[in-house]
Amino acid sequence: MEPGEYVPDRTEGITRVEDLPPPLVERRSRNYRRRSCPRCGRGCYRDNQGHRVLHDIGDLSRDRPREIHVVYSRHRCKLCRLYFSADLSDLAPPGSRYTHRVISLAVRHVVEDDLPYRAASWSLWRDHRVFVPFATIQNWIEAAGKKIGRSRRDRLPGLGLGRLLGLRGGRRAV
């Protein structure tokens, strides 16, 4: 294959996610014996283990998507009675199935390149071999817009009910 040569996409015309090529699996471990409690700072032993699958930017040379399988430890503080997990926030936001790289790339496609959600979803698959439903991209954009779009000028003045009614210095005795 030479640079600039047209190569047809093997996955064009596939309408079901199950028919896509199998992903390359990368295994990572965040399984620690002891971690310090985020509340009290006391060292806590591992209580359990968890498993999380994250979708990452795929491998174009092999024409396959990539998944990161993370095994992580869950800990319990006996003093605080707090359950907590090993930190995975450097890989993905809490509860997300996609890495930070995928989310930022999808948001950039829509915001900077001004692509519609469906076209951005197709572009992510075609160029980076990561399948993201367009509704998921829409949710990311709307969530980012709520956080970024509101400025202090858009809000009502912070008078509060007491100052609005002319109450100063706490409650008034009747």
pLDDT (tens digit, 9 = 90+) per residue, 116-159? 999 999 899 888 889 899 999 999 998 877 544 444 444 444 44
The 10s digit of each residue's pLDDT in 13-62 is: 777 878 878 889 999 999 999 999 999 999 999 999 999 999 999 887 78
Nearest to 136 by CA among 148, 124, 126: 124
**CA atoms of 114 and 135, how far apart (whole Å):** 16
**Beta carbons of 129 and 106 less than 8 angstroms apart:** no
The upper half-sphere exposure of residue 114, i.e. CA atoms within 13 Å in the direction of its Cβ, equals 0
What's the confidence (pLDDT) of residue 168?
54
